[in-house]
């Protein structure tokens, strides 16, 4: 692969992943009285946002030196962020459908704060995995 094609292929995945993470962050920031589980998820999303932003700064030469395997693994991690974020965003919309104005209804608060904790924890675990993978790639690329 040529350096430009590597960088272009990575950017083609970074941008949509970053957009998805930021839309989900906006959705979560709009819940003014979010339960602790959602607040913790917000922190994970912030970390992934920073990792994706750092990944955009990796130069063509750095991508070339990392090799095709690392590039493909990085793209897979970014795709996981994208897919997980989209899926979670639609679940969050369903879970908060009785709420408005950024305040959770009592029904949605119980749903999100109690019944959906395992799904929120799963999303948090996926985000942490993405963050670790992407941060490692950035660290290696910049060494």
Range of the domain at 13: 3-142
Whole-angstrom distance, CA of residue 127 vs CA of residue 61: 27
pLDDT, position 1: 45
Q: Which residues contact 98 (CB under 8 A, 6 or more apart)?
A: 105, 107, 108
Q: What whole-number percentage of the chain has pLDDT above 70?
A: 96
- Picking from 92, 103, 101, 99, the residue whose alpha carbon sits closest to that of residue 37 is 92
pLDDT tens per residue, range 31-43? 888 788 888 888 9
pLDDT, position 50: 93
Number of domains in the chain: 1
Mean pLDDT (the chain, rounded): 85
Q: Which residues contact 124 (CB under 8 A, 6 or more apart)?
A: 40, 41, 44
Q: What is the pTM of this model?
A: 0.83
Mean pLDDT across the stretch 53-68?
A: 86
DSSP states along 56-88: HT--HHHHHHH-HHHHHHHHHHHHHHHHHHHHH
pLDDT tens per residue, range 65-92? 888 888 888 888 899 889 988 999 998 8
pLDDT, position 45: 92
């Amino acid at each position: 692969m040529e350096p430009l094609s590597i960088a272009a292929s990575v950017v083609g995945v970074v941008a949509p992943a970053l957009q998805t993470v930021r839309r989900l962050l906006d959705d979560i920031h709009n819940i003014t009285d979010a339960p602790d589980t959602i607040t913790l998820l917000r922190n994970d999303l912030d970390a992934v946002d920073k990792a994706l932003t750092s990944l955009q700064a990796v130069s063509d030469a750095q991508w070339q030196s990392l090799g095709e395997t690392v590039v493909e693994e990085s793209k897979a991690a970014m795709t996981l962020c994208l897919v997980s974020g989209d899926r979670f965003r639609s679940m969050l919309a369903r879970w908060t459908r009785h709420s408005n104005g950024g305040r959770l209804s009592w029904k949605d608060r119980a749903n999100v704060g109690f019944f959906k904790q395992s799904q929120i924890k799963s999303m948090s675990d996926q985000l942490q995995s993405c963050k670790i993978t992407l941060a490692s790639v950035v660290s290696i690329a910049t060494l």
